[in-house]
Structure 1
Amino acid sequence: MLFIKTFTRSICTGKYSFAAEKSLLAALRKKTGYTFANCKKALEMHDNDLNRAELWLKSQAQALGWSKATKLEGRHTAQGLIGVAVNQYSGVMVEVNCETDFVARNKEFQSMVEDATKCCLRYIESQQKPQENVAKFSLDTEQLKGLHSENDGKSLADKLALMIGTVGENATLKQGLGLKTCEGIHLVGYAHPAGHVENGLQLGKLGGLLAYRSLGEGNDHIEIAKGICQHIVGMRPTKIGNNDDKPAPNKDEETCLIHQEYLLDDSVTVKELLEQNQLEIVDFKRLECGEIVSSIGKQPLEFVETCQ
């Protein structure tokens, strides 16, 4: 009778132990997303301690990511996405490149662009507000890599390496552009084709930022400003222009913003639209994914107050 009780107890204990281990394994896989074999190994190495197993898995993944990133470094990256984010006084555009458009549609890659954009926006927010007009910023690859995520404290360099290890393709943090305004100057941003993410962050192949001043009353200028920002992305103006600039003989070759036909209504020019809605453009920036960088990436951080 004693033998039967002991044998029965051992069977029950074994079943319980197996069920507990299975539950831990399922929890670790759900939390980390790593393979069955890797999660099983992590738990075995750390006596079924879920937290220690998770930390070990993440450290191994990070090491593998850096190793793969080093091997893939130098491979051409012409595809990718631009992240655009704006709050009351700060706006940024961040370009992250990859090798193929297939990876640019990958959730891991898009999450990397979101992280980089949020980090850059937080950095611009921390800078001193200009006393007047607009302060312009540019961050090169190394400066972007040095920014840290607010969520987990990791540098963007570490996050990029981990992402490269996941997607198996080279990727680069190419550049970041930012505008910071003073009181009375508003900001809007636009990405095309627009993919709206949380808190107004947008992802696209093209991006634009517009700083403008309302000369009238009320807040009904926002949609007009968004339309002008969309126009800037689509029509590629090279400068705002003023009354001394004469319109180009061929309207299709016009690069002065105020003299261009408005993209959303070609019956008016941008200048006429601004006058009708009592708006003044202070500054704008446009970014195209894969565009050749001239000064950005070679210059240190800029901080320049401008008055257009």
Structure 2
Amino acid sequence: MLFIRTLTRSICTGNRNFAAEKSLLAALRKKTGYTFANCKKALEMHDNDLNQAELWLKAQAQSLGWSKATKLEGRHTAQGLIGVAINQSNGVMVEVNCETDFVARNKEFQNMVEDATKCCLRFIETQQKPQDDVAKFNLNTEQLKALHFESDGKSLADKLVLMIGTVGENATLKQGVGLKTSEGIHLVGYAHPAGHVENGLQLGKLGGLLAYKCHGQDSDHTDVAKGICQHIVGMKPTKVGTADDKPAPNKDEETCLIHQEYLLDDSVTVKELLEEHQLEIVEFRRLECGETVSSVSNQPLEFVETCQ
């Protein structure tokens, strides 16, 4: 009888210990996102100390990430995503590349694009407001890597390495562009295929930013401006255009924005749409994933081009 009671207590205690360990394992996996096997190993090595296990996992991931990043460095990255974000008078687009479209759909990679876009937006927010209408910013690969998170002070370079270690493909922070506007200038952004993430941040293969003025009392100008930004992304104009610019003989070859047929209604031109709603385009930027980076993107962080 004594043997049975002892065995019963042992089984019950064992069940409680197993349940506690299972709970710790679940908590560690949720907190770090690492595999079951790695989390179990970390807890066993540190006598179920959750904090120590987490620190060990992060150190291992950092080491693995740097090692894998070094091995994969130089492999071609033609796929990826562009993050687009607007916050009042600040707008940015950031391109992050990877090797395959499969990884571009991976949540870890998408988190990387979101983080890079948010960091770039915070950088633009800290810059001085332009004296004229809008200032343009261009950040290259090394400049993006140097940006840091406010929460833990880690750089985007560190975040990128960890992501590479997780997805097993080479990835690069290719470029970032930004617009910062003065009072009275509005900003809209668009990514295609459209995908809202959070707080207005969008991810897509193509991205656009549009800065504009509204000279009328039209309260719905934002929707019209978003449509024009969508047009810019889809029709790839090279300049806004002025009264001195003549329409191209072949409308399908038109690269001047104001003379292009409006993407959402080809019965009107962009110029006619702007006149109808009393809007004036101040500046636009467009990014296409995998496109050749222009030389202006190699300018230093302090580079600001002012438009008026």
Could you say which TM-score interval applies, normalised by the shorter chain? over 0.9
Counterpart amino acid of 1:42? A
Query: Residue 295 of structure 2 aligns with which residue?
Result: 295
Distance 1:195 1:133 in 2: 29
Deviation of the 1:122 alpha carbon: 0.9
Query: Residue 28 of structure 1 aligns with which residue?
Result: 28
Q: Which whole-Å deviations, capped at 9, do the CAs of 1:84-112 have from their partners, x for residues lacking one?
A: 11121000010000111111111111111
Counterpart amino acid of 1:113? V
Structure 1 stretch displaced more, 11-20 or 69-78:
11-20
Quick one: structure 1 residues 2 and 164, their matched pair in 2 at CA, closer, same or farther if it must change by over 3 Å? Answer: same
1:56 aligns with 2:56: yes
Task: Name the SS of the counterpart of 1:267 in structure 2.
Answer: strand
Deviation of the 1:33 alpha carbon: 2.9
Deviation of the 1:163 alpha carbon: 0.8
Task: Name the SS of the counterpart of 2:31 in structure 1.
Answer: helix
Contact 2:90 2:125 in 1 (8 A): yes
Counterpart amino acid of 2:290? G
Q: Is there any run of 5+ residues in structure 2 with no aligned partner, and where?
A: none
1:148 aligns with 2:148: yes
For residues 69-108 of structure 1, what are the structure 2 equivalents within 5 Å? 69-108=69-108
Deviation of the 1:197 alpha carbon: 0.9
TM-score normalized by structure 1?
A: 0.94
Quick one: structure 1 residues 19 and 253, their matched pair in 2 at CA, closer, same or farther if it must change by over 3 Å? Answer: closer
Task: Name the SS of the counterpart of 1:287 in structure 2.
Answer: strand
Contact 1:97 1:172 in 2 (8 A): yes
Query: Residue 306 of structure 2 aligns with which residue?
Result: 305
For residues 1-308 of structure 1, what are the structure 2 equivalents within 5 Å? 12-301=12-301, 302-307=303-308
Quick one: structure 1 residues 19 and 263, their matched pair in 2 at CA, closer, same or farther if it must change by over 3 Å? Answer: closer
Distance 1:108 1:130 in 2: 36
Contact 2:134 2:179 in 1 (8 A): yes
Counterpart amino acid of 1:125? E
Structure 1 stretch displaced more, 30-39 or 261-270:
30-39
Deviation of the 1:294 alpha carbon: 2.6
Counterpart amino acid of 2:259? H
Counterpart amino acid of 1:160? L
Q: Which runs of 4+ in 1 moved over 4 A?
A: 1-15
Distance 2:62 2:109 in 1: 16
Q: Which whole-Å deviations, capped at 9, do the CAs of 1:249-270 have from their partners, x for residues lacking one?
A: 1111111111111111111111
Structure 1 stretch displaced more, 172-181 or 20-29:
20-29
Q: Which whole-Å deviations, capped at 9, do the CAs of 1:110-134 have from their partners, x for residues lacking one?
A: 1111111111111101111112210
Deviation of the 1:150 alpha carbon: 3.4
Task: Name the SS of the counterpart of 1:197 in structure 2.
Answer: strand
Q: Which whole-Å deviations, capped at 9, do the CAs of 1:136-191 have from their partners, x for residues lacking one?
A: 00001011111122344321111111111111110000000000000000000111
Contact 2:82 2:96 in 1 (8 A): yes
Contact 2:138 2:298 in 1 (8 A): no
Distance 2:18 2:148 in 1: 41
Task: Name the SS of the counterpart of 2:306 in structure 1.
Answer: strand
Counterpart amino acid of 2:95? E
Deviation of the 1:246 alpha carbon: 1.1
Quick one: structure 1 residues 47 and 246, their matched pair in 2 at CA, closer, same or farther if it must change by over 3 Å? Answer: same
Contact 1:164 1:170 in 2 (8 A): yes
Distance 2:12 2:105 in 1: 49
Q: Which whole-Å deviations, capped at 9, do the CAs of 1:27-47 have from their partners, x for residues lacking one?
A: 223332323332222122222
Distance 1:59 1:230 in 2: 43
Contact 1:77 1:172 in 2 (8 A): yes
In angstroms, what is the RMSD of aligned CA positions? Answer: 1.9
Contact 1:175 1:296 in 2 (8 A): no
Contact 2:218 2:277 in 1 (8 A): no
Aligned length: 307
Residue identity over aligned pairs, in percent, reads 83
Q: Which whole-Å deviations, capped at 9, do the CAs of 1:41-73 have from their partners, x for residues lacking one?
A: 212222211111111111111211111011100
Structure 1 stretch displaced more, 296-305 or 199-208:
296-305
Quick one: structure 1 residues 266 and 52, their matched pair in 2 at CA, closer, same or farther if it must change by over 3 Å? Answer: same
Distance 1:75 1:24 in 2: 39
Contact 1:140 1:296 in 2 (8 A): no
Deviation of the 1:24 alpha carbon: 2.0
Distance 2:107 2:8 in 1: 50
Q: Which whole-Å deviations, capped at 9, do the CAs of 1:241-288 have from their partners, x for residues lacking one?
A: 111111111111111111111111111111111111101000111111
Task: Name the SS of the counterpart of 2:95 in structure 1.
Answer: strand
Q: Is there any run of 5+ residues in structure 1 with no aligned partner, and where?
A: none
